[in-house]
Amino acid sequence: MKILYWSLIVLMMLYLTTGKKRRHKGTQWWSLAKTGEPSNDLDSPAAHATHIYTSPTLLPLTKKQRRLVTKNPGTIVAIAKGARMAVDECQYQFKDRRWNCPIQELGHGKNLFGKIIEKGCRETAFIYAITSAAVAHSVARACADGSIYTCTCNYNLRQPNGVDWEWGGCSDNANFGKKFSRKFVDVAEKGRDFRYMMNLHNNEAGRRHVKREMERECKCHGMSGSCTIKTCWMRLPLFRQVGNILKDRFDGASRVLPGNEGSNDSEGNNNGGRRGKKKLRLEPADPNHKRPDKRDLVYFEESPNFCDKDDSIGFLGTSGRECNATSIGIDGCDLMCCGRGYKSETYTVRERCSCTFHWCCEVKCKVCTRTKIRHTCY
User: Footprint of ligand NAG on this chain (CB under 6 A)?
Assistant: 262-264, 324, 326-327
For ligand NAG, the closer CB: 159 or 263: 263
Cα torsion angle, 320, 324, 325, 331, sign:
negative
Task: Identify whether the C-beta of residue 377 lies closer than 8 Å to the C-beta of residue 340.
Answer: yes
The two beta strands, 342-358 and 362-377, are: antiparallel
Using CA atoms, how far apart are residues 223 and 236, in angstroms rounded to an integer? 29
Minimum distance from CB of 263 to ligand NAG (Å)?
A: 5
Minimum distance from CB of 262 to ligand NAG (Å)?
A: 5
Helix H or strand E segment including 209: helix 194-212
Apex 150 CA angle, 146 and 154, nearest 5: 60
Q: Residue 218, preceding bond cis, omega within 30 degrees?
A: no
Minimum distance from CB of 327 to ligand NAG (Å)?
A: 3
Q: Which candidate, 14, 2, 3, places its Cα nearest to that of 60?
A: 14
DSSP β-bridge partners for residue 221 = 229
Using CA atoms, how far apart are residues 84 and 87, in angstroms rounded to an integer? 5
* Alpha helix ranges (H) inside 151-277: 174-186, 194-212, 239-251
C-beta neighbour count of 262 within 10 angstroms: 13
Task: Identify whether the C-beta of residue 67 lies closer than 8 Å to the C-beta of residue 51.
Answer: no
Using CA atoms, how far apart are residues 97 and 103, in angstroms rounded to an integer? 15
One-character DSSP codes across 323-342:
EBTT--STTBHHHHTTTS-E
Task: Identify whether the C-beta of residue 299 lies closer than 8 Å to the C-beta of residue 105.
Answer: no
